[in-house]
Each structure stands twice: as structure tokens, then as C-alpha cells.
Amino acid sequence: MRTRKVQILVIGVLILWTFVTYYILLHNNSAQSDTKQKEQQQLKQLFPKALLEQSKSLKLSDTLVSFLKLKYMNQETSTTPKITIVAAEISNELQEQQPKTTVTTSAQIPTKTYLANGEPVIPILVFACNRISVVKCLENLVQYRPSVEQFPIIVSQDCGDELTKQAIQSFGNQLTLIEQPDQSDIMVLPKEKKFKGYYKIARHYGWALNTTFHIGFEYVVIVEDDLNVAPDFFEYFLATHKLLKQDKSLWCVSAWNDNGKANVVDIGSPELLYRTDFFPGLGWMLTKDLWSELSVKWPKSFWDDWIRHPEQRKDRVCIRPEISRTRTFGKIGVSNGLFFDKYLKHIKLSEHFVHFTKMNLSYLLKDNYDNTFLKQVYVLPLVTFDELRRNLIAKEGPVRIQYNNRDQYKRITRMLGLMDDFKSGVPRTAYHGIVSFYYNKRRVHLAPSANWKGYDLSWS
């Protein structure tokens, strides 16, 4: 009996010990759980604060970067009065787009179109978007500009990029900033979405040229925001603008030579100028009369290819130099560096100041040029590329290489390091099919046969 009581007592103690142990463990777990919950709650409270502080830090960094950029560019604030200009509509906007209301933009465009001595005022119209490197272009133009009054610089900005705008405004009253007011999206076909940038460029060009010529200027020189100019850039256009009025077969003067790499130009002849059927662009001058003709049918995109088409060109030609008076530094852009590494970065920029205004440039007028240049080319010795490359030509002086078809032309130009493409059937720099360049210390003319019948669109 006593043994049974002892057993019951032992069992009771074990049960009590089990309950006590369970209670202690349960209490400790509850305490740890409370602690974790408190820690989690504290983290939840701290996390938004951390994000806020991070956001403040990022904003502070952005502000600091912006300040340093503006400090580097020596920002100034223009205090000159402004006038209001109504934005002109481009005649053939995409029909899918909704009609736009007339928008105004503030600008300080000079209204004087002629100097007291009768010389025309020739504005330099710079096209900008979202590259603050436009500063390099503007510094260059301001550096070489001989007269603020005769060559006002007008910067037309698209895209609405604030940092680029501030960079342009840092030049104060040395230039005028106008802003393309229509920043609406452009509706394009799905297959053309990757080309939307070209649509915006065409819209910008149309608006800016309408706005500038509306003032009454007879001439405008167009410069892209990624161009440097030569010391005699202004002198070049000052001397050649008269040719555009004298010769109706001329429709532009360009500062660019598409085949202007240092190894294929005559560095010793910076004064040499040519006529060309190819529209070069990249720093070019046009007249008010030409813009009146083109503006009413201005294209929705790819304006430079459009302007090279026979329907626009109408057998008219441009003036171009032996050595370029512009050079592009803009590898990054809408064209994604097309041709830049292979050609554009190797273009030679003229370093010598040529007094073009003191020269007789009448040799560039059509009758004079055709009677001399064309006749001279076809009496030159006919050689092969191999003879030229190996320097096997007995006589010194200029020579001619003949091509008879598209494939032959492309093969020769590639071997020579020239640009081999065509636009509307016209080779770059060609005049009557003749492409002139400098090779192995002699003038070379790559020319079709003497009975040439004209450009073939199928070659493009």
C-alpha cells in the first residue's frame, strides 16, 4: 500500500514538473516573439525614413552635378528684352494627328536684315536638342564670328531638355534662343517607330526655318549642334552668298566635303572650291526664295534625302570646298553614328584663313565652270587605279580614272577610301558624274565616259 502511494506521488511530481517546464518554455517563446515583432515594427518605421534620406541624397547629387556643369559653362542671364513670334505651321503634317492650336514662343531675334553699307545680315541658325555639347559648337561660332551685327546666332532648340537650354542661355546676349513649341508625340506606322527621331527633326527644321525667314532675311546658314567650324567659316559664306543670286543653277553653298579625309584632299589648296550635284549639308546656306519653294511641300521625315531627289533638286547644284569648313564631333545621335568611325571623324577641318571676299569666284558660275572644268577633265591622261596606287604614271599632273557602271564605281571608291554610296543616283561630291579628289600628290578625277547620259536612280 505504501509502495503504491510513493508511486502516485512520484507520478504527480513528474506531471507537475512537465507542466512547469512547458510553462517556462512557452513564456520564453512568447517573450522572443514579442521582441521580434517589436524589431520588425521598428524596421517598418525606419525603412521609409531610409528611403526618404536616400531620395534626398540622390537629389542633392543631381543638384551638385547640375551646379558644376553650369559653373563650368559660366552661366549668365540675359537681360535683353524679348519679342513674341507666332510659330508657323508646316504645310503637310501627318493627317492622323489632331490639328494643333497656334503656339507662341518668346525670342529676341534681331529684325535688321541689311547693314548700313547694303550688305545682308546672314543669321547662323543652330539646331539643338538634348546635347549640352552644343556649347562646343557655340563657343567655336562666337570665337570666329567677325561681326555680331552681320552674323546673329539663333539657336533653335527642340526636345525641351532643361540642361541643354541652360547651357545655351549661358552665352547671354551673344545669341538668341528660340524653342520649338510643339512637343507633342508624332504618330507613325509601327514599322517606322525606330525612325520617329527623323520625323521630329523634319518638324523642327520646318518650324525654325519658317520662323527665321519670316523676319525677312535673304539668306540663312544652317549649323547642327555637333559641328565645329573653321576660322574662315564666316568669310566663306560672306564671299559666296552673291553667287546664289547671280546663278539660278545654284541652290546652296555648303561648308562640307563628303570626301574630305586628310589623305584625299590637297592640303596646299584650301582656297579651291567646286560645283557639285550632290547636296552635302553639314553647314550650308540657302536663300529665302528657295525656302519659299520648299516650305510648302516640306516632308514629314528624312528631309535631307528628300531634298536630294530630282523633283526637288531640278538639276541645281551646290558649292563645296576642297577642305571642309565644318567637322562633326557628334557620334551619338539619331543616326547612331552612321559612317562616323569609318569616314566622318577623319574629315580634315581647314586651319588656314582664306580671304575669299578678296578672290574672284566667278569661275564657279555655270557657264564659266562647264567651259573649263568639264573640258579639262576629258583631255587628261586615262589611267587605272593600279597604276595610280603603284605610282606608275610617267607624267606629273592631274589624271582621270574611268568607271562604266555602278559596281565598278563602288569597287574603285572602296579601294581609294572614298564614300561609295549614292543618293538619288548621285555619288557624293559628284558633278556631271565626276568625283574629284587628291591621291599620291596629284589631282585625280573619277569620271564616267565622255558620252555620259545623266544619273541613274537605280544606282542608289
| Of 304, 305, 370, 456, catalytic | 304
User: 409-418: long-range contacts at Cβ-Cβ below 8 A with a sequence spacing of 24 or more?
Assistant: 409/446, 412/385, 412/446, 413/446, 415/385, 415/389, 416/264, 416/385, 416/446, 417/261, 417/263, 417/264, 418/259, 418/264, 418/446
Query: Rounded distance, CA 238 to CA 235, Å?
Result: 5
Query: Rounded distance, CA 300 to CA 310, Å?
Result: 18
Query: Rounded distance, CA 128 to CA 205, Å?
Result: 10
Query: Rounded distance, CA 368 to CA 177, Å?
Result: 41
3-state secondary structure (DSSP) of residue 251: strand
Query: In sequence order, which residues have a C-beta less than 8 Å from that of residue 229 and are 6 or more positions away?
Result: 137, 140, 141, 144, 223, 255, 283, 325, 326
Residues comprising the chain, all counted? 460
Q: How far is CA 200 from CA 56, 182, 235, 332, 351, in A?
A: 35, 10, 32, 17, 34
Annotated active-site residue 277? The verdict is no
> Which residues are catalytically annotated?
304
